[in-house]
Amino acid sequence: MIALTLAEVAAAVSGELRLHGADTPETVVSGGVDTDSRNIAAGGVFVAKPGEATDGHLFVGKAVENGAALAIVERPVDEPVTQIVVADAVLALADLAREVVARVRALGALRIVGITGSNGKTTTKNMLAAILREEGETVAPVASFNNAVGAPLTMLRVTESTRFLVCEFGADAPGQIARLAGLVTPDVGVVLMVGMAHAGGFGGIEETVKAKSELVRAVREGGVAVLNADDPRVAGMAPIAAERGASVRWFGADASADVRRGEVTVSADGTATEVTVEGRTLPLHLKVLGAHHVSNALAAVAAATALGVAPDAAIERVAALELAERWRMQVLGNDRVRIINDAYNASPDSYHAALRTLAQITGPDERMVAVLGAMSELGEYDNAEHAKVALQAVRLRIPRIVVVGQEARGLYLSVIAEGSWDSEAVFFPTADEAYEYLMGELRDGDRVLVKSSNAAGLRFLGDRLGESFA
């Protein structure tokens, strides 16, 4: 965090300052800010956030042991550290982030990009960060720090020398993106696509559209909205950008796109296409598997060029990215048995894309194996969307389908109902049982997709398989 006095921090979070030891209101703090006491280092600021499983106030002492200079708390704690007492620690974290970003932005160099969408946020964020880091100091989220806690923690990492802040905005209910993006008012807002992810929480696809459009409404006047020309729901957000006094930069396959792709070829070595941007057509070969990641790359290039990055430099840097993110189309194992671990997030769109990729990279003498778990947060659409996944798996003629977890049993039954039988599809209640089966089943030439939502935990099964066949 940039240097602030204790009085300035207290004012930013509307809190009551309770000094300890030799501290005064003018004492300066400048250490990292975190809600996890294990991440606190000397001079750090610990935010004691109440949680579902535990309470951050129980760990103030541990934070002090690790060197915390300040604790932001909802109630005073009997620990030897200066404290600022606030009504809501999470809101205080957001208020502090707003203040810090505003101060850095006032220096004139900081440019801010916000990214949202039903799928692809983290991949696009990593692609854009890889491009921008070559231009100047860039702050981007760790993993998927995109919620009410993670996004402000990312924002608080900016310094006076930061040139780019890349924010990822996720949400499972209306209003969340508006609140998070409103903390920073991005110069560039990127909307990737609108799909069924979190549709249960939003109450339907149209409500999801409204929620994602909140980022466009938050773009500053004179800024740029980077929109997907191939998604009608996203394209429909262009009038909102106009209302905000923001220009639109389009990406996609559509002929009208400012950053446009050609035909896409997917192989075990990656994903290839041509990109037309600013009157030039340049080759792009992604090391990341999956045709769907081309759209993410286009969005990253569109955002980067909107910020003044040369098109050829942007494409060269995104092509050099080895891995989009751990557990996202991550290739493990070896040439004989290749494991594709894509089990961190799963929406209907990403599920279908991953299954298509499995079919595209599997040669005629190789075998497809799909290890599938449940999708989360679909609400009333749960059964129907799992049934669609089952239908696609059968139509792709995947010869071995392994369904894991009680929450995914409906997916298994749908696979059987769609015509997969005679041990082509098997079901296991636990990942351990599935692992034991797969260790006896997998053979040379197998191409194995492990796909599920984060909650299903199959990413760890993918890791185990990757290690076993390394």
Q: Are 426 and 402 in contact (CB under 8 A)?
A: yes
Q: Are 344 and 327 in contact (CB under 8 A)?
A: yes
Instruction: From 74, 467, 127, 88, select the one nearest 294 (Cα to Cα).
Output: 127
Residue 212 labelled as part of a binding site: no
Residue 54 labelled as part of a binding site: no
The pair of three-digit structure tokens given for residue 93, joined into one six-digit string: 């974290």
Instruction: From 437, 189, 43, 457, select the one nearest 448 (Cα to Cα).
Output: 437
SS3 339: strand
Instruction: From 232, 8, 213, select the one nearest 100 (Cα to Cα).
Output: 8
- Give the dihedral sign, CA 135/138/142/147: negative
Q: Are 401 and 417 in contact (CB under 8 A)?
A: no
Residue 24 labelled as part of a binding site: no
Instruction: From 20, 2, 19, 1, select the one nearest 10 (Cα to Cα).
Output: 19
CA gap 229, 252 in Å, rounded: 5
Residue 119 labelled as part of a binding site: yes
The pair of three-digit structure tokens given for residue 170, joined into one six-digit string: 């996720």
Residue 185 labelled as part of a binding site: no
Paired with 394 in beta bridges are none
Residue 122 labelled as part of a binding site: yes
Q: Are 179 and 88 in contact (CB under 8 A)?
A: no
Residue 213 labelled as part of a binding site: no
CA gap 470, 464 in Å, rounded: 10
How wide is the angle at C-alpha 84 spanned by C-alphas 80 and 85, nearest 5°? 110
Q: Which residues participate in the annotated binding site for ATP?
A: 117-123
Q: Which residues participate in the annotated binding site?
A: 117-123
